[in-house]
């Protein structure tokens, strides 16, 4: 029977994964298909597993990177450290019962993508958003040697609010990463995080983990202020390849 892979999330209109993997399967003569599973709630996952007995693994995107954990029987050290999962590998026992294991490939994809932009002058990073994706980005930035500051709509013990961003904070945090869905297809391509773009300089790097569209309003405003910018497309591509490696590890 043909092996199946897929992605769970909501919405999935922005996801390039089905096209990427199905082209990969066709180009490499792999007898498999990759399917989008746009779930109204994570509680629909057991039904998907029941209806797709040859499903071998799937990617996880917003809003399920944390919610997926209650269905997992184990997690990689990296996924545990980040407390977010974006890759699930399925192992089936002799009766066909699925056993799910969680991984995180965002760290590898992001680290390899942003590293060439960084210099010794980049000491601090501001991470916009506090969802599942931000956890992997913070983990990666710390491994790269940067101190991080989280920004959310409401201040908390772990983050400041957008209203709390001062000129001093902007000046010292030369790396700014958008981990919110603002600007993404399906989440308002005419929107962007509410930061003081006019205070940016050519010393800043703006990185958007959104990859569809590649040229988000966040990046457009960054470039207009002289900052260096990069979309999340390369990160997505690198983490997609890592997903395939995870699914095929013995």
Helices (H) and strands (E) in the chain, counts: 8, 12
Residues 55, 68: contact at Cβ < 8 Å? no
Nearest to 118 by CA among 209, 215, 201, 228: 228
**Can you read off the two tokens belonging to residue 99?**
């056993």
Annotation marks residue 65 as catalytic: yes
CA distance 164 to 188: 24
> Cα 156–157–159 angle (5° rounding)?
60
Residue-by-residue DSSP string for 55-83:
EEEEEE-TT-TTGGGGG-SEE-HHHHHHT
CA distance 63 to 42: 9
Which residues, other chains included, contact 76 with Cβ-Cβ below 8 Å and sequence gap of 6+? 101, 102, 103, 104
CA distance 248 to 250: 6
What are the two backbone dihedrals, phi and then psi, of residue 111, each rounded to the nearest 5 degrees? -60, -50
CA distance 234 to 236: 5
CA distance 150 to 210: 17
**Can you read off the two tokens belonging to residue 142?**
């710390």
Q: Which of 65, 89, 135, 221 is catalytic?
A: 65
> Cα 112–223–135 angle (5° rounding)?
40
The residues annotated with a catalytic role in the active site are 65
């Amino acid at each position: 029977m043909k092996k199946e892979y897929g992605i769970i999330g909501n919405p999935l209109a922005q996801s390039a994964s089905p096209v990427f993997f199905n082209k990969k399967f066709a180009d490499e003569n792999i007898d498999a298909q990759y399917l989008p599973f746009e779930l109204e709630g994570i509680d629909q996952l057991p039904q998907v597993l029941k209806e797709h007995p040859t499903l071998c693994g799937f990617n996880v995107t917003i809003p399920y990177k944390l919610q997926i954990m209650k269905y997992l029987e184990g997690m990689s050290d990296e996924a545990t450290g980040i407390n977010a999962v974006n890759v699930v590998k399925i192992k089936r026992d002799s009766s066909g019962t699925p056993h799910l294991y969680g991984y995180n490939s965002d760290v590898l994809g992001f680290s390899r993508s942003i590293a060439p932009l960084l210099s010794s002058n980049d000491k601090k990073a501001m991470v916009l958003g506090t969802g599942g994706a931000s956890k992997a980005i913070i983990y990666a930035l710390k491994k790269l040697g940067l101190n991080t500051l989280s920004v959310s709509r409401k201040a908390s013990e772990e983050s400041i609010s957008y209203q709390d961003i001062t000129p001093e904070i902007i000046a010292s945090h030369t790396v700014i990463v958008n981990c919110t869905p603002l600007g993404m297809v399906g989440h308002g391509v005419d929107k962007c995080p509410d930061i003081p773009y006019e205070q940016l300089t050519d010393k800043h790097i703006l990185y958007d983990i959104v990859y569809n569209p590649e040229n988000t309003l966040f990046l457009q405003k960054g470039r207009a202020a002289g900052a260096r910018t990069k979309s999340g497309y390369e990160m997505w591509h690198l983490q997609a390849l890592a997903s395939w490696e995870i699914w095929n590890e013995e």
